[in-house]
Amino acid sequence: MSADSVSENIIPHKHSITHVDRVERNGYRPVLVWLTGLSGSGKSTLASEVEKALFTQGLNTYILDGDNIRSGLNKDLDFGDEARKENIRRIGEVSKLFIDSGTIVLTAFISPFIDDRKQAKDLAGADNFIEVFVDCPLEVCEQRDVKGLYKKAREGKIKNFTGIDSPFEQPKNADVVVKTNEESLEVCTKKILEVVLKKIKN
């Protein structure tokens, strides 16, 4: 049975508690903070710092991190281009559910392709989406090589590794750009927080 034929028999249930109800009760609008950048650029570290700052203000938050998601929900996917697209599509759908629940969701994914990040933005809604480009030169990320992945990629032990033998398409109009090789963690965190806090209160 094809996916199309199955979808014909699916009728989404309309719940009595709506997104608007949750926004009114919480007193702020949930958003999707999408951090994109090369492996080792600092996405996960920044997501954690931003989340801590938001959480201490009493806001509902959750982080979706690349390795964590690939060890569970997306463990059936490899790192080919099509699998990468499916990885981001699923994350976009999950993020949409988090937003509907009234949760500020932060994602830390390389998400190398512009079209895939646009799909995530469309799913969340443009008004609910904040794209953060964690801009760090390849050579710096490779020097850090926190997980030893660049070394393996250079040795040919990892294929389709972003920045080595797979491209990274830089955001053209990111809402926030942080340069983790030039700016401190505190400065980068503050820049992201300022945009997030302004967005959720509008």
Binding residues, by number, are 37-44
Candidates 2, 48, 71, 111; catalytic one: 111
Is residue 111 part of the annotated active site? The answer reads yes
Structure tokens at 51: 């989340």
Binding residues for ATP, by number, are 37-44
Question: Which residues participate in catalysis according to the annotation?
Answer: 111
